[in-house]
Amino acid sequence: MSSDAQAVEPAVSPAGGKPSRAGIRLPGAGDALNKGLVVTYLGLIVLLPLAAIATKSFEDGLGGFWNAVSSPQAVASLELTVTASLIVVAINAVMGTLIAWVLVRDNFRGKGVVNSVIDLPFALPTIVASLTLLVVYGKDSPVGINIAFTQAAVVVALLFVTLPFVVRAVQPLLLSIDRDMETAAESLGASKTRIFWRIIFPNLAPGIATGIALAFARALGEFGSLILISGNVPFKTEVSSVFIRGQIESDNLVGASAVSVVLLAISLLMLAFITFVQRRGSRHDQ
Amino acid sequence: MTSNFKSNISRWSLRYIALGYLLMLLLLPIGVILVRTFDEGVGAVIDAITTPDALAALRLSLLTVIIAVPLNTVFGIACALIMVRSNMRGKSIINALIDVPFAVSPVVIGLALVLVYGTQGWFGADLAAIGIQVIFSTPGIVMAVIFVSLPFVAREVIPVLQEVGDDQEKAAETLGASSWQIFWKITLPAIRWGVSYGIVLTTARALGEFGAVTIVSGRISGETETLPLFVQKEFETFNSVGAYSASMLLALLALATLLALNLMRRKEN
Amino acid sequence: MPETQGHGIEVTGVSKDYGDFQALTDVNLIVPDGSMTALLGPSGSGKSTLLRTIAGLEVPSAGIVRIGGEDQTRKPVRARNVGFVFQHYAAFKHMTVYENIAFGPKVRKWPKERVKQRVYELLDLVQLSGLARRYPSQLSGGQRQRMALARALAVEPSVLLLDEPFGALDAKVRKDLRTWLRRLHDEVHVTTIFVTHDQEEAMDIAEQIVVMNDGRIEQTGSATDLYDSPENEFVMGFVGEVNSLGGKLVRPHDVEILNHEAEGTVEAEIDRIVKLGFAARVEMLTVGEKGEVWAQLTRTELEPLNLESGQKVFVRPRPDAVVKEDTGVLEEIFKEEDPPASGKPTGVTPGLPV
């Protein structure tokens, strides 16, 4: 018979639950090998590099770390990055929900195409995004809008790359909303606005939150789409990722690592904040 | 019937606001670049993307994709199996690690790889001793591409695997099938759509990676320049036809990705 | 201890726990070769766990499982040659009916001709001929379950195990299918065990019924044994109808109605009288304890009593009735379960187009 003749050991089942279904029964040469490979893969490719950044950033001690992240240029880049990301995320919260609404509730010719196009920023290389935005909103703009080398360009580029996050997070929630709830509210005399805010929005909130978290993380670290259109002028239009590149090219790896750590920390903070808001909101569900 | 009229107005205004936003942000840029690319005629475009440097960039990009996508696919499926079907401790750590590429700036990824595998990095010296150069060479680029495109297959397969449940697998077990047979004949077919979506997304991401590769590659034209890097170089050397043409190629590949996703979604239903 | 010949099943001292939760405690059971046995009990009684332990899908914490005289306790399910049918069919969705049924034989590398022959033989047996090229999604629930049965039987298992096989089907289909299963069993004679929470189902087709509660076997016997001679109040209440009267459990047809007080009677008021063909139900409310009692009488027994709604009567168990103390065990089991806490709306996997 087969080589893996071990008896199937069930996972621990919660008290009172059905007999567990999970067996440690992975294909091939046994699950130990499988797990080992996955862990090694992740370790070499993800964990190790992350650890290296953390270590490097403190190579010159706390003082060195602080110096690196408090230099005027670094601070300026962080201010710009965080501000732009927050603005972009706020716009996305509104526009993303709106677009999801139109895609789910409305019907018009070409809706399918529009729906597919939403994913374009996911599929398009960031450098191409940068180039296309420059062509349209730069010096030779066909629509007469030239925002190249301004902070507005940073916002526009970030809007481009973060477009799909909120839309795609909200769509499935909108689709699965029980329309009967809305009809019931209407029969009780509620206006459309009230129905939206009291019935629909609470169900969309988790999706919006997820979308915001992802969009923020993406915006914070965005690089390629900004390269060509923002001009990367230090203290004006230089975002942190560009600043970090500059530090690497000047062989200041400690400084680059330190600012990287700060970016990561800000990302985590936002995530924690959103999780906190979500938990508070979901208490109403019980 | 003012309420009907009002609701129509609000429906239309929402629709046109959404479409207008998408037009200005997405459609116009793509459209304009497709048009501008051919400003100097089709011949110029073909010339631009068949220069030795351009071809080398294309080859390198394809090479990274051919290596990264299968590796990440196998990893993604193995990872999903562990996360959904096994009892390993530390699953939440793995879960968090899978999401790291989403949360970290590409430049930081590049930096991290340099710190570990660069000549002054943790392993760089040892690797150099046995003749392997990672940073400023192809292996580094491949690693960067692997890192950034790591999560997609795993993230697509995990929910599918969860939803499918293991009843079919148990049934196959009662019928005498071995673990391998169960995996190939039952599990894999059940998750094939998740795997397919994941592969398409991984490929798109791998092809388009820019930030991390910028840092690790050294951008040596003809050698360590991927297609996205080529676009930047052409732009910086004022060769707009070259930049637009290569961009158009990448954009077409992106559109092909969307098309593939669309077709797959239709076939799945 | 009688020996199990052929492919009988012997379960000895089996216990199963999941950490804190005790699913089975010291279960002993003999299933004769070729018989049909039902594991009957409420949810959480351990009946599915026991079935899966016999199948090899679970490993007991203690005890021995013997099939056909051999100790199979540690053998994995794929080595046991058991046929297993799941409540929700577990059909291989991406394979045709033919391929589903052929799966077991193909795994065992039967020659192609033999596989084909066997599949068509089974399609005939389960009355699905002509549907070989269909996919499970194109079949009705009843058809899917018959396919699942055919699939399980394809490799000529020594034992057939069914886990709430009709649980996912409509009432009418359920009844038809269980009669059909009984006929199938009479034709094929495979030792069969099925799990159910429906006492009517168990009593209808099983030769032996194993009543389980809370991980233990309460009583094993034929339908008549369990109905006429229940060993405790749980069995009495679970198999057949009971009323609680004056702190005792009594069968409805053992409730005696008198129009004068007598020894052991309880006062009650008649709520309504329902005539169902040749039988009648007299539904009453007891005074004092405020409980509901109903008696089952034949029309001939009812007529001379001249009962009317609202009338005061006196009820007691008949002198020769089977009676058990009512300690409230049954109330616990049949209490309605609280609705589950509402979950949050599902989130989306991060960063990916849906």
A-contacting residues in B 229-258 (Cβ below 8 Å): 229, 231-232, 235, 243-244, 247, 250-251, 254-255, 257-258
Reported residue count of chain A is: 286
User: Which pLDDT score, from 0 to 100, does residue C152 have?
Assistant: 93
Residue A44 pLDDT exceeds 90: no
Assign C163 to helix, strand or coil: strand
Question: Could you give the CA distance from residue A130 to residue B128 in angstroms, rounded to a whole number?
Answer: 36
For chain B, give the percent of residues with pLDDT over 70. Answer: 99
User: Which pLDDT score, from 0 to 100, does residue A281 have?
Assistant: 67
CB pairs under 8 A between A and C: 84
* Subunit contact B254:A46, Cβ cutoff 8 A: no
DSSP string of C114-132, one letter each residue: HHHHHHHHHHHHTT-TT-T
User: Which pLDDT score, from 0 to 100, does residue C5 have?
Assistant: 53
| Type of residue found at B112 | A
C254 secondary structure, DSSP code: G
Question: Could you give the CA distance from residue B209 to residue A242 in angstroms, rounded to a whole number?
Answer: 16
Residue range A167-188: mean pLDDT, rounded: 87
Tens digits of per-residue pLDDT, C42-65? 988 999 999 999 999 889 999 999
Tens digits of per-residue pLDDT, C76-109? 888 888 999 998 889 998 899 999 999 999 988 9
Give helix A253-282 / helix A48-57 axis angle, nearest 10°. 110
In a domain, B104, yes or no: yes
In B222-233, which positions are buried (b, 16+ CB within 10 angstroms) versus exposed (e)? Answer: eebbbbbbbbbb
Question: Could you give the CA distance from residue B161 to residue B188 in angstroms, rounded to a whole number?
Answer: 10
> Is there a contact between A188 and A227 (Cβ–Cβ < 8 Å)?
no
Tokens read off for A189: 């005399």
Tokens read off for C264: 């052991």
CA-atom Rg of chain C in angstroms: 25
Tokens read off for A157: 């580029």
> Is there a contact between A184 and A249 (Cβ–Cβ < 8 Å)?
no
Of C158, C166, C149, give the one whose Cα is nearest residue C31: C158
Tens digits of per-residue pLDDT, A26-40? 454 457 778 888 889
Q: Tell me, which fold does domain A61-285 have in CATH? A: MetI-like fold (1.10.3720)
Residue A116 pLDDT level (bands cut at 50, 70, 90): confident
Give helix C171-188 / helix C112-125 axis angle, nearest 10°. 130
C349 touches chain A (CB under 8 A): no
Tokens read off for B154: 């795993």
C-chain CB neighbours of A165 within 8 Å are 351
C339 touches chain A (CB under 8 A): no
Q: Compute the nearest-CA separation of B243 from chain C (Å).
A: 28
* Subunit contact A165:C58, Cβ cutoff 8 A: no
**Which of B95, B158, B175 would you mutate first to test chain C, the one with the most C CBs within 10 A?**
B175
Residue A262 pLDDT exceeds 50: yes
Question: Could you give the CA distance from residue C312 to residue C308 in angstroms, rounded to a whole number?
Answer: 9
Show the domain range for B101.
50-237
In a domain, B101, yes or no: yes
In a domain, B146, yes or no: yes
Q: Which chains touch A (3 or more CB pairs under 8 A)?
A: B, C
Q: Can you give the residue ranges of every domain in chain A? A: 24-57, 61-285
User: Which pLDDT score, from 0 to 100, does residue C146 have?
Assistant: 93
In a domain, B71, yes or no: yes
B153 touches chain A (CB under 8 A): no
Residue C334 pLDDT exceeds 70: no
Question: Could you give the CA distance from residue B176 to residue A29 in angstroms, rounded to a whole number?
Answer: 18
* Domain count along chain B: 1
* Subunit contact C349:B159, Cβ cutoff 8 A: yes
User: Which pLDDT score, from 0 to 100, does residue C123 have?
Assistant: 95
In this predicted complex, what is the ipTM?
A: 0.88
Residue A282 pLDDT level (bands cut at 50, 70, 90): low
For chain A, give the percent of residues with pLDDT over 90. Answer: 45
Question: Could you give the CA distance from residue B36 to residue A241 in angstroms, rounded to a whole number?
Answer: 29
* Subunit contact C92:B176, Cβ cutoff 8 A: no
Q: Which of B257 and A25 is assigned the larger pLDDT?
A: B257
A188 secondary structure, DSSP code: T
Question: What does the angle CA C175 – CA C177 – CA C179 come to, to the nearest 5 degrees?
Answer: 75
Please write down the HEC assignment for all residues of chain B: CHHHHHHHHHHHHHHHHHHHHHHHHHHHHHHHHHHHHHHHHHHHHHHHHCCHHHHHHHHHHHHHHHHHHHHHHHHHHHHHHHHHHCCCCCHHHHHHHHHHHHHCCHHHHHHHHHHHHCCCCCCHHHHHHCCCCCCCCHHHHHHHHHHHCCHHHHHHHHHHHHHHCCHHHHHHHHCCCCHHHHHHHHHHHHCHHHHHHHHHHHHHHHHHCCHHHHHHHCCCCCCCCCHHHHHHHHHHCCCHHHHHHHHHHHHHHHHHHHHHHHHHHHHHC
CATH number at residue B132: 1.10.3720.10
In a domain, B11, yes or no: no
CB pairs under 8 A between A and B: 277
Residue C66 pLDDT exceeds 90: yes
For chain B, give the percent of residues with pLDDT over 90. Answer: 51
Q: Compute the nearest-CA separation of B243 from chain A (Å).
A: 8
In a domain, B5, yes or no: no
Residue with tokens 């996911």: A122
User: Which pLDDT score, from 0 to 100, does residue B31 have?
Assistant: 86
Phi, psi (rounded to 5 degrees) for C277: 65, -120
Q: How far apart are the first and last CA of chain A?
A: 51
Residue A17 pLDDT exceeds 50: no
Q: Compute the nearest-CA separation of B179 from chain C (Å).
A: 10
| Type of residue found at B110 | G
User: Which pLDDT score, from 0 to 100, does residue C342 have?
Assistant: 40
Residue A13 pLDDT level (bands cut at 50, 70, 90): very low
What residues pair up with C19 in beta bridges, in sequence order? none
User: Which pLDDT score, from 0 to 100, does residue A3 have?
Assistant: 35
Assign C271 to helix, strand or coil: strand
Phi, psi (rounded to 5 degrees) for B210: -125, -60
* Subunit contact B18:A98, Cβ cutoff 8 A: yes
The reported pTM is: 0.80
> Is there a contact between C311 and C270 (Cβ–Cβ < 8 Å)?
yes
Residue C234 CA: distances (Å) to CA of B118, C230, C289, C294, C331: 74, 8, 22, 19, 10
* Subunit contact B102:C351, Cβ cutoff 8 A: yes
In a domain, B266, yes or no: no
Reported residue count of chain B is: 269
Tens digits of per-residue pLDDT, C175-232? 999 999 999 999 888 999 999 999 899 999 999 999 999 999 999 999 999 998 899 8
Residue A20 pLDDT level (bands cut at 50, 70, 90): very low
* Subunit contact A1:C78, Cβ cutoff 8 A: yes
Question: Could you give the CA distance from residue B140 to residue B119 in angstroms, rounded to a whole number?
Answer: 12
What residues pair up with C273 in beta bridges, in sequence order? C282
Residue A10 pLDDT exceeds 90: no
In a domain, B245, yes or no: no
C-chain CB neighbours of A6 within 8 Å are 76
Question: Could you give the CA distance from residue C77 to residue A59 in angstroms, rounded to a whole number?
Answer: 57
User: Which pLDDT score, from 0 to 100, does residue B240 have?
Assistant: 87
CB-based burial label for B111 (10 Å; 0-12, 13-18, 19+): buried
Q: How many CB atoms sit inside 10 A of residue C186's CB? A: 9
Considering only CB atoms, C57 lies closest to which of A8, A173, A206, namely A8
Question: Could you give the CA distance from residue C40 to residue C195 in angstroms, rounded to a whole number?
Answer: 6
A180 touches chain B (CB under 8 A): no
Question: Could you give the CA distance from residue C39 to residue C62 in angstroms, rounded to a whole number?
Answer: 20
Question: Could you give the CA distance from residue A102 to residue B11 in angstroms, rounded to a whole number?
Answer: 8
Residue C79 CA: distances (Å) to CA of C16, C103, C105, C157, C350: 21, 16, 14, 11, 42
Q: Which of B7 and A263 is assigned the larger pLDDT?
A: A263
Going across the sheet that includes C21-31, the strands are C21-31, C9-18, C62-67, C70-71
Tokens read off for C107: 């795994």
* Subunit contact C55:B174, Cβ cutoff 8 A: yes
Q: Compute the nearest-CA separation of A282 from chain B (Å).
A: 22
User: Which pLDDT score, from 0 to 100, does residue B8 have?
Assistant: 81
